[in-house]
């Protein structure tokens, strides 16, 4: 699975958009970009994933560059409860190869401040 | 998505003893996994729990230390054997359901402290 690079920490003001970048320059054509977050003392929570098109759901938006070498997770109106570690993970669809589990990097610690 | 119940949620254990952690899922799932998260660190995969056969362990993890069972498609256990303070971590169960192309679901974890 491709390796990802994320900033170790970011701050965001409550109510503002939080934009979390991720670099994955060695991504392969069949690899998806997945985002998870881990709120303190909880298990990781799935947020969103995408292959090449931008995606949006009730939690966030995912913007993937045209060359697919980087992406940005956008929390449109960050709240204090969005304070967490956010992990960007690149891997093939589990339907293609479920045997390869998720590989977690260091993630970005997002601090939402009042 | 599947709902995972992981027990116990936390425990404090004496060194040299063993603890068995249970992972119960509310539906049949294709894949079950066990992770470890050491203090202040990211998650590390311990093993894939295979139904009816031996688990598949990642490098650095061995069956004698972390025996795993998976008797059916909804249940798995992880035992941390002969514990030492270095085993103090959060242990997490994770599942994936076929044919979902979505994310993996994680339990809330077991916070283990070895004294």
The answer to whether B13 contacts chain A (CB < 8 Å) is no
Distance CA A82, CA A58 (A): 13
Residue whose entry in the numeric block shows the structure tokens 């514990």: B83
DSSP structural state of residue A114:
-
The pLDDT value recorded for residue B31 is 85
Category of B52 on φ-ψ map: left (φ > 0), alpha (ψ -120 to 50) or beta: left
Is A87 in CB contact (< 8 Å) with chain B?
Answer: yes
- Among B6, B1, B28, smallest CA distance to B78 is for B6
User: How many residues does the structure list for chain A?
Assistant: 114
Cβ(A6)–Cβ(A72) under 8 Å? no
Mean pLDDT per 10-residue section of chain A, whose length is 114 residues: 88 97 92 92 90 93 96 97 96 65 89 97
DSSP state for residue A59 in the 8-state scheme: S
Q: CB distance A34–B44 less than 8 Å?
A: no
User: Can you give the pLDDT at residue A13?
Assistant: 97
Q: What is the pLDDT of residue A2?
A: 64
Please name the residue that has the structure tokens 């449109």. A76
Q: How many Å separate Cα B112 from the centre of its chain?
A: 12
A49 touches chain B (CB under 8 A): yes
Per the listing, tokens 């294709």 go with B30
Contacts of B88 (CB under 8 A, 6+ apart): B38, B39, B112, B113, B114
Task: Give how far Cα A100 sits from Cα of A2, A35, B13, Å.
Answer: 12, 17, 32
Cβ contacts of B50 within 8 Å, gap of 6 or more: B56, B70
CB pairs below 8 Å between A and B: how many?
A: 63
- Selected residues 53-82 of chain B with any CB under 8 Å from a CB in chain A: 56
Residue A78 in contact with residue A16, Cβ under 8 Å?
A: yes
What is the Cα–Cα distance from A2 to A25, expressed in whole angstroms?
8
Assign B102 a pLDDT band (cuts: 50, 70, 90). low
Q: How far apart are the CA of B79 and the nearest CA of chain A, in angstroms?
A: 19
Q: How far is CA B68 from the centre of its chain?
A: 8
A101 with B94: Cβ contact below 8 A: yes
| Confidence (pLDDT) at B98 | 65
How far away is chain B from the Cα of A13, in angstroms, using its nearest Cα?
24
Residue A95 has its nearest CB partner, among B42, B94, B101, at B101
């Amino acid at each position: 699975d491709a390796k990802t690079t994320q900033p170790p920490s970011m701050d965001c003001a409550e109510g503002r958009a939080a934009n979390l970048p991720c670099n994955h320059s060695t991504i392969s054509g069949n690899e998806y970009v997945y985002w998870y977050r881990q709120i303190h003392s909880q298990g990781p929570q799935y947020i969103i994933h995408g292959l090449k098109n931008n995606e949006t759901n009730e939690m966030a938006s995912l913007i993937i560059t045209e060359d697919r070498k980087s992406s940005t997770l956008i929390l449109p109106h960050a709240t204090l409860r969005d304070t967490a570690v956010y992990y960007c993970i690149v891997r093939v669809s589990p339907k293609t190869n479920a045997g390869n589990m998720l590989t977690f990097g260091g993630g970005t610690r997002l601090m939402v401040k009042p | 998505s599947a709902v995972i119940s992981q027990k116990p949620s936390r425990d404090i254990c004496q060194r040299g003893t063993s603890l068995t952690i249970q992972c119960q899922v509310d539906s049949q799932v294709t894949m079950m996994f066990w992770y470890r998260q050491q203090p202040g660190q990211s998650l590390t995969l311990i093993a894939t729990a295979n139904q009816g056969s031996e688990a598949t362990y990642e490098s650095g993890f061995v069956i004698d230390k972390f025996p795993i069972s998976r008797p059916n498609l909804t249940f798995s256990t992880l035992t941390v054997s002969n514990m030492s303070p270095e085993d103090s971590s959060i242990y997490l169960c994770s599942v994936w359901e076929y044919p979902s192309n979505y994310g993996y679901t994680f339990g809330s974890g077991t916070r283990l402290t070895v004294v």
